[in-house]
């Protein structure tokens, strides 16, 4: 329930449990199974908790929209296929990637421990979530991990003027003892799609270099860029990485490219449909008795970064997590009311 004291400058403050319940209610009331609603609600609450607002409770709106459009399965259960000693595939059968990943995680970790390196392909999944949420369970196991996924064709390749690539995020994680892991999660586009949508909702101009309008002209208007195309970060460098993600998390694992995903969407505005590739490595199997020596060298690298005043990737997110666990999270009042309405 909304209390008068919760509303401050058009925002609403919620505890993490209240944020979860808000998301769960909206998802469950609109037809998602209890297991699917729980997985999504936990994921978006974690995004909000960590200050990743583009992957926080705002995503509930898109999840419900995808279901209403018939573009995500509300209650599908995943199936796994053991294809090779170091390769595991899990089929989400049209549901969100989250439960499929959870189901495959124990066997995937066992493969990594056995082989030293292994790959997990999540197929036929709908994907909206931040990839750091898939990386962290692996770093908690002491593993080094990499993940990537295509999306919808929203991004033009360097030198082009039409959407072809997805935002195609790449995430990487390195475990650290006694402190949060080194984790980065970045789109190969100049910004995440959700960031542009949040700018549109707030009627804020975009930074230059984020996108072009439908005529191929540079634009700082979020609505125009959403109708035009986003740009890659770093020009041809980001473009090459985006193409790599298309290949290794699309054709390599027997799933869709971003262009195919957008065609499948049929202009419903649903979340991307396709696959995700996760690769994990076990330092124990690579290094054996030398493990501690070389992990210590990694800590020297992190300390050298910090000594120059550089921010360690993931550091800001973990600080936001600590703050949210103590003080809760804030939502724009308009977004809060939209989610409440979905749950009634």
Residues 94, 91: Cα–Cα separation, whole Å: 8
Exactly one of 53, 124, 152, 195 is catalytic; name it: 195
Residues 201, 61: Cα–Cα separation, whole Å: 13
Residues 42, 57: Cα–Cα separation, whole Å: 10
Nearest CA to 120 among 158, 81, 176? 81
Specify whether 55 is catalytic.
yes
Q: Which two tokens stand for residue 130?
A: 């931040």
DSSP assignment letter at 144: E
Exactly one of 54, 78, 151, 239 is catalytic; name it: 54
Specify whether 136 is catalytic.
no
Contact, 19 vs 50, CB < 8 A? no
Exactly one of 53, 55, 124, 152 is catalytic; name it: 55
The count of other CB atoms within 10 Å of the CB of residue 187 is: 26
SS3 per-residue string spanning 182-231: EEEEECCECCCHHHHHHHHHHCCCCCCCCEECCCCCEECCHHHHHHCEEC
Specify whether 93 is catalytic.
no
Q: Radius of gyration of the chain from Cα atoms?
A: 20
Residues 86, 113: Cα–Cα separation, whole Å: 10
Which are the catalytic amino acids? Answer: 54-55, 195
């Amino acid at each position: 329930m909304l209390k008068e004291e919760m509303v401050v400058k058009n925002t609403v403050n919620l505890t993490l449990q209240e944020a979860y319940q808000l998301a769960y209610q909206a998802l469950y009331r609109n037809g998602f199974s209890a297991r699917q609603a729980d997985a999504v609600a936990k994921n978006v609450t974690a995004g909000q908790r960590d200050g990743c607002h583009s992957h926080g409770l705002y995503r509930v709106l898109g999840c419900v929209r995808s279901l209403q459009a018939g573009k995500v399965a509300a209650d599908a259960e995943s199936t796994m296929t053991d294809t090779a000693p170091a390769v595991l595939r899990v089929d989400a059968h049209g549901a969100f990637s989250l439960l499929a990943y959870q189901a495959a995680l124990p066997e995937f970790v066992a493969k990594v421990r056995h082989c030293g390196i292994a790959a997990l392909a999540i197929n036929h999944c709908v994907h909206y979530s931040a990839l750091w949420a898939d990386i962290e369970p692996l770093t908690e196991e002491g593993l080094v991990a990499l993940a990537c996924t295509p999306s919808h064709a929203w991004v033009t390749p360097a030198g082009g003027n039409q959407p072809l690539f997805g935002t195609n995020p790449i995430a990487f994680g390195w475990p650290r003892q006694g402190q949060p892991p080194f984790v980065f999660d970045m789109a190969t586009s100049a910004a995440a799609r959700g960031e542009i949508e949040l700018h549109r909702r707030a009627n804020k101009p975009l930074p230059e270099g984020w996108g072009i309008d439908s005529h191929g002209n540079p634009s700082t208007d979020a609505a125009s860029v959403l109708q035009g195309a986003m740009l890659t970060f770093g020009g041809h460098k980001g473009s090459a990485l985006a193409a790599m993600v298309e290949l290794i998390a699309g054709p390599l694992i027997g799933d869709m490219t971003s262009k195919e995903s957008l065609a499948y969407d049929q202009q419903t505005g649903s979340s991307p449909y396709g696959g995700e590739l996760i690769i994990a490595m076990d330092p124990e199997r690579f290094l054996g008795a030398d493990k501690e020596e070389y992990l210590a060298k990694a800590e020297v690298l992190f300390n050298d970064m910090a000594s120059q005043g550089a921010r360690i990737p993931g550091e800001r997110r973990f600080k936001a997590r600590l703050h949210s666990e103590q003080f809760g999270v804030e939502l724009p009042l308009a977004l809060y009311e939209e989610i409440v309405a979905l749950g009634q």
